[in-house]
Amino acid sequence: MAGTDRKQHAPSGGPAIILVEPQLGENIGTAARAMLNCGLTDLRLVKPRDGWPSEKARSAASGADKVIEGARLYDSTAAAIADLARVYATTARPRGMIKRVATPRRAASEMRKATSLGQKIGVLFGRERTGLENDDIALADAVIAVPLNPGFASLNLAQAVLLVGYEWFQAADKTPANQLVVNETRPATKAELLNFFLQLEKRLVDSGFLRNVEKRPSMVRNIRNLFQRAGLTHQEVRTLHGIVSDLSALRERRK
C-alpha cells in the first residue's frame, strides 16, 4: 500500500493524540506516522522517558515530520488535556472502575459530532508495556476499547493509534465502498455488448457448439450471463471481438 504523493495534506480539527510516558522514541515516531496517515497532527507527549526531541522518533516517523515538529511536551496528563472539552482513554476494559466503554467506531462518530460543534477533543494512550494508569483513566470521559481476539488483544502503540485514527478518518470519508476503476476506458454500452453476444453466438452456431437446438436458448443465456457479470468495458469488448475472430480463423485454417 505504498503511496507516492508526499504532500502532507492533513484535515485540521481532529483529536489530539496524547502519549502518556511513552518509552521508546521509535514508538513515538511510528505513532506520528499512523497519525498523519489518518490526517491527525496534534501530538502531545507527557514525560517521554528518553527525552525530546528524539532522532529515533523522527526517523521512525518515515516522513511525518510535520507531526514530530509540532509535538508539545507536558509534565502531567492533567496539563496535556487542560484545553480539551472531551477526553477518551484507550485501554482494555477498565477494572474496578465505573466507566463508559465505546468501540473505536462509536467513539469516532462521537468525536466527529463534538468537533463539528467546535469542541476540542483528545485520546490518551498509555505506556508501551503497562498502558494507562487508573488515575489517567479517571480523567477521561470514556474509555475506548478495541474489540479484538480476546486471547491475543495486545496492540503496540502505533497500531492502537492507527485503529483510533482509522475510524476517525472513515467516519467522514466519502470513498464508495465498492467501485469499478476503469481508468482510461469506459463501461461498454449495452449495444456494444449485445453486438458481441450476437457475433459470438453466430460463430458458435457455425462451429457446432450450439448444435443442440433444444438446449441452445439456455446455453446462450448462460454464456451471456457469464460475460454480463464481468462488467465489461468498451475496450474489453473490443478485445473479446478480436479473440473470437482469431479463434474462429484458427479453426478455419485447421479444417
Question: Rule CB under 8 A: which of 42-101 touch a second copy?
Answer: 62-64, 90-101
229 sits near a second copy (criterion: CB under 8 A): no
User: 484507550: which residue's cell?
Assistant: 90
Q: Grid coordinates in use for 245?
A: 475472430
H or E segment to which residue 196 belongs: helix 190-207
Give 80 or 132: the residue with its C-beta nearer to a second copy. Answer: 132
Q: Grid coordinates in use for 121?
A: 477533543
Closest to 22 (Cα-Cα) out of 46, 41, 54, 43: 46
List the interface residues with a second copy, window 100-159 (CB under 8 A).
100-103, 105-106, 125-126, 129-131, 143, 145-156, 158-159
CB of 104 to a second copy, least distance (A): 9
User: 469488448: which residue's cell?
Assistant: 237
CB of 187 to a second copy, least distance (A): 9
Answer yes or no: are the C-beta atoms of 146 and 155 closer than 8 Å. Answer: yes
180 sits near a second copy (criterion: CB under 8 A): yes
H or E segment to which residue 186 belongs: none
Q: One-letter amino acid identity for 94?
A: P
One symbol per residue from 236 to 255: x for binding a second copy (CB under 8 A), - otherwise; what is it?
A: x-------------------
6 sits near a second copy (criterion: CB under 8 A): yes
CB of 173 to a second copy, least distance (A): 4
